[in-house]
Structure 1
Amino acid sequence: MPDFLLTRIDKLIEFGALDQAAAVLDTLDSDAPVLRLRRFDIGLLLGDEHTACQPVLREEPPVGDAAALIFCMARAGQWQEASALLDAAAEENRVAPYLAELLQHFLDGDETLPGASTLLPPPPGTPDPLTWRLREAVGDGLPTLGLPVSYAHADLRGTQGWRAQIEAAERLVRAGALSPNRLLGLYTERRAAASGGIWERVRVVQRLDTALRNADAAATSAALIDAWPQIQAGELEVPLASLYAQPLGQIGLTGEARAIAYRMGLLSEAYETVALGLPAGADAEERFLAAVARGLDPAQAGAMRGELAAAVALAFGPEPPLPEGMAERLAEGRLGEEMLRILMQLGGPGDPRVLAEGLGGLRALGLEDIARRTALESLLLERRG
């Protein structure tokens, strides 16, 4: 089995893209134990234990994980066999003591454990999906908010309160692992009963959504001005731009609301179309951004302050800088490696030199769309560093 396949699956899980990872594994339908166990983990994180256990219960080849097999045998109604396997595995140290105690409680049908999940302290760090699921099953569940984003899917199962579902959806949308429409559905599910914090964001997004559906330009303008700071506070500019950029661009806004809608449009997939529709009276910063969106030299069109803007101007200027050693690596046929190198560097801290060279490199490789969207997000979301 190629290492890159397992790496790809693990990266999808790390980013919270569990449905995508599951689709890859289900298409492969591999007998490899390591891939079957990854599918088991994904099923547990999605709250779909039935699907999770199907690859584990295949007899050949053995999955090689006693704890997973015990859990799945119990769910399949093979309680005596699971108990016997647990006794043997614990005696042979094939199951860690803490996990063995959790499994014993699970087999015994304990629903609530006083004080702690076991007599032993839990191991430090993030629990693996099975440990996390067993703790939930015996009444000692952990909140997902402090866990990696892949665990947030569990809060979308309908077993959690509305707030927990919204918080989980926001985390997953920020990571690009959930459709913004799913978040909007949660935002508009009911009226917010509390105030402040996340509830204020729910309230202003509901107002904006209602105003747009009613095609009320004045109400939309007021709602957008109120909503934008809340959207920024939640770092949800890009996903909400994908929802609202097009209708906002069609409703005829003016002043501050028009300026916000323009920036939202540049954060959407239709960024180039939005840039082509820039009004004649646009200011220097808007002209600068429009040039970037069209792949033109922004310094010839407008001006924008800041080191990142200067870096973008270099990358889209007449002589864009390139990463050191790029030509040599390409001459050696290392194209894929060079793409990954550039993308990894651009994913780090906002270093203007790295940004200029990375954007120049992407454009030289023909990745113009990625270069433009990266540049626009770097400029419009600069507050994140």
Structure 2
Amino acid sequence: MTVFGGQTAAVRARAVTPSHWPLSRWTLLTGTALALLLNLGGPTKGVAQDAVAERPLSAINWLTQSLDAPRSTPTALVPSPSSRDDISENALPEDVTSGPIDAPRIDAVGLLSTAQTGLPRDLWGASKALDLSRRLTSISQNTDLLPASRRLLNTLILAELDPPLGIQNDGRLFLARVDALLSQGLIEEADALMQRAGSDAPEVFRRSFDAKLLMGTENEACAQLKTTRGLSPALPTRIFCLARDGDWRAAALTLETSTALGLISIDDGNLLARFLDPELFEGEPALPIPDAPTPLTFTMMDAIGEPIPTQSLPLAFAQSDLRQTSGWKLRATAAERLARVGALTPNRWLGIWSEHLPAASGGIWDRIEALQRFETALNTGDPNGVSHSLGRVWTEMGESGLQIVFADLFAQKLSDAPLAGEAADVAFEVALLSPSYEIIAANWDKPLSKNAAFARDIALGEAPSERIFEARKRAIVDGFRNTGIPVRLSGLVQSNRLGEAILRAIELLEGGATGDLDELTDALQFFRAVGLEATARRAALEILLLERRG
């Protein structure tokens, strides 16, 4: 028997799909019930389409349409005046928005202070919000960013920075930042950023609602919807929240009414009916999996016992697989996928992978077995066991893109272990990919190969003096030897658009990592010139050592 929200399906009020309705049931829809639907469920389809506000530049196409057009537009996140038509459509006065004079600037909201990031508050300078939003969106949608690029990008996204000069407080840049976090699977960070903003704007609520669905805190989302004035829930959202609030009768009545009036799609109606009473449909074929499910659809499909696999869905959906109610393989696979892109902490990844002994072989089980064998040897202080298991686990980490995660956890212990030969070489490579790369490199006293010695010089911020023949190494050395702002980025810096120049440099770094060596040199040179030394060093080391980057 399906259990959802603490209640069994047997105690729910029964919802009936159109194909099951007796005609006499329509007579039960009183004027009061119909008014309830129309007043609380938002405007009808035609009215909603007329009132839809300008779609944000960075809107994610899988977001739930949780709201109809708002009855009133909050102060923040309104379309900019330049986007509106200057021709009046009628003689009525325009709507006037208002807010407190000292209202916080939503584009300035962040989770990291300037003391934590070391970035100046006026980093965005004279850039246009549209240009910054486009760059943030473009970079964050790259699923194979260098870890150094991703760290810097997310620092910029989460930083408390003044909005660009002359910008209106319309929230365009804020939404682009939230969407960039969501596209990387950083749901908790996105949710925290939206909570810090404290905005009741519909476009913020849509993202907050979806984030809470994927985190499994949908009750909070529905409570926020219920207590926030000016938000008009779409019908599927209203029915879902009525059910979550325990008002199954109202949910069923709203579903029946909206379906009869043609205000809800057949697919949504079928899913909601099963969500309200799955027992009514026992033995019937499963619903087809939607091509592009929203978090609301995803949540309800899971609730009726027909979960949608997340492997082909955006990263944000994988967070739902981490719940304790999921099977271990599902959780381990999601942990691998999220940790690979920095959307899961190394310790949590390790904890999930250490929960049980693998009961099978092949694929992820081989990676888990190699990790557990290595960790056991390391924790028991067995040098021979570490030496024999290190090479294999490092190869497994490389094939799954988890080298950085592994290095964060084990670099310091490996650097202290009495290793020699090939095992020592691997330990040094692990160290160079960890946050302690500089300290460990400076104190390393074991023999180094020529390639390892080159990497140590980069870790210490030194350009090797000998002549370099390999093109990629030469491009890195040039980036460390050259000084000043590269020509292709100087215009942005000189026009007071330093933050935008940093985003552009991330784009150049990614181009360099995939083969454009001129862009690689310019990116490294730029980062060093503006004081982002750690980014330059770690990016260079990652390009040298992460073979999957090619």
Q: Same fold, TM exceeding 0.5?
A: yes
Percentage identity across aligned positions?
37
Higher helix share: 1
Counterpart of 1:340 (choices 490, 503, 512) is: 503
Change (3 A) 1:302 1:283: farther
SS in 2 for 1:57: helix
- Give the counterpart letter for 1:262 in structure 2: F
User: In the TM superposition, what whole-angstrom CA distance separates every residue of 1:163-198 from its partner, at most 9, and x where no partner exists?
Assistant: 111110001101101111111112221221212221
- In the comparison of the two structures, how many residue pairs are matched? 378
Which one of 538, 543, 550 corresponds to residue 373 of structure 1? 538
Aligned to 2:273: 104
C-alpha distance in 2 between matches for 1:22 and 1:248: 36
Do 2:200 and 2:228's aligned partners in 1 also have CA atoms closer than 8 Å? no
Residue 330 of structure 1 pairs with residue 500 of structure 2: no
Identify if the C-alpha distance between structure 1 residues 103 and 274 changes in structure 2 by more than 3 Å, giving closer, same or farther.
Answer: same
2:194 corresponds to 1:25? yes
Tell me, which stretches of 5 or more residues in structure 2 are unaligned? 1-75, 77-170
Contact map agreement 2:225 2:233 (CA 8 A) in 1: no
Q: Distance in 1 between matches of 2:285 and 2:549?
A: 40
1:372 partner amino acid: R
Structure 1 SS opposite 2:367: helix
Choose which of 231, 241, 246 in structure 1 pairs with 2:397: 231
Task: State TM-score, norm by structure 1.
Answer: 0.91
**1:361 aligned partner:** 526
**Which stretch shows the higher mean deviation, 19-28 or 283-292?**
19-28
Higher mean C-alpha deviation, range 233-242 or range 321-330: 321-330
User: 2:168: which partner in 1?
Assistant: none
- Distance in 2, Cα, partners of 1:59 & 1:109: 31
Deviation of 1:377 after TM superposition, in Å, equals 0.6
1:258–1:122: structure 2 CA closer, same or farther, 3 Å change rule? Answer: closer
Contact 2:214 2:319 in 1 (8 A): yes
Q: Which amino acid aligns with 2:350?
A: L
| Deviation, structure 1 residue 122 | 5.3
CA 369–113 in structure 1, closer or farther in 2 if over 3 Å, else same: farther
The Cα of 1:136 is off from its aligned counterpart by 1.6
Equivalent residue in structure 2 for 1:312, among 464, 476, 492: 476
- Of structures 1 and 2, the one with the larger relative CO (CA 8 A, separation 6+) is 2
Amino acid at match of 2:285: G
Instruction: Tell me the distance in 1 between the aligned counterparts of 2:227 and 2:261.
Output: 23
Distance 1:280 1:231 in 2: 24
Deviates more, 1:44-53 or 1:147-156: 44-53
Cα distance in 2 for residues equivalent to 1:236 and 1:9: 25
CA contact (8 A) 1:56 1:68 kept: no
How far apart are residue 361 of structure 1 and its match?
1.4
Alpha-carbon displacement from aligned partner over 1:84-143 (angstroms, at most 9, x marks no partner): 3334444565544322321122123447563331xxx6553x211011111222232211
Match of 1:115 in 2: 285
Q: Structure 1 residue 48 and structure 2 residue 217: aligned?
A: yes
Task: State TM-score, norm by structure 2.
Answer: 0.65
> Judging changes above 3 Å, is the alpha-carbon distance between structure 1 residues 140 and 331 closer, same or farther for their aligned structure 2 residues?
same
Deviation at 1:301, TM superposition (A): 6.0
1:282 maps to what in 2?
Answer: 448
CA-to-aligned-CA distance 1:263-306 (integer Å, 9 cap, x gap): 110000011112212336322211110111111113x1686x74
Counterpart contact for 1:39–1:55, Cα < 8 Å: no
Q: Secondary structure at the match of 1:232?
A: helix
Cα displacement (A) at 1:334: 0.8
Shift of 1:45: 1.0
Contact 2:191 2:211 in 1 (8 A): yes
Structure 1 contact 284–301 (Cα < 8 Å) conserved:
no
Name the residue aligned to 1:143.
309
Q: Secondary structure at the match of 2:293?
A: coil
d(CA) in 2 for partners of 1:89 and 1:359? 58
State the distance in 2 between where 1:122 and 1:195 align. 30
Most deviating of 347-356 and 237-246? 347-356
CA positional deviation for 1:36:
1.9
Instruction: Tell me the residue number matched to 2:388.
Output: 222
Unaligned runs of 5+ in 1: none
Q: Could you give the per-residue CA deviations for residues 321-363 of structure 1, whole angstroms, max 9, x where no partner exists? A: 8554322221110111111111133235342222111111111
Q: In the alignment, residue 366 of structure 1 is paired with which amino acid? A: G
Corresponding position of 1:382: 547
The amino acid of 1:114's aligned partner reads E
Q: 1:329 to 1:189 in 2, by over 3 A?
A: same
Say if 1:174 and 1:302 are closer, same or farther in 2 by CA, change over 3 A.
farther
Of residues 196-205 and 233-242 in structure 1, the stretch that sits farther from structure 2 once superposed is 196-205
Partner of 1:268, secondary structure, is coil
Q: For residues 19-98 of structure 1, what are the structure 2 equivalents within 5 Å?
A: 19-90=188-259, 94-98=263-267
Equivalent residue of 1:177, what SS?
A: coil
Distance 2:193 2:463 in 1: 41
The CA RMSD measured in Å over matched residues stands at 2.2
Q: Which has the larger radius of gyration?
A: 2
**Conserved in 2, the CA contact under 8 Å of 1:320 and 1:356?**
no
Match of 1:351 among 516, 521, 526: 516
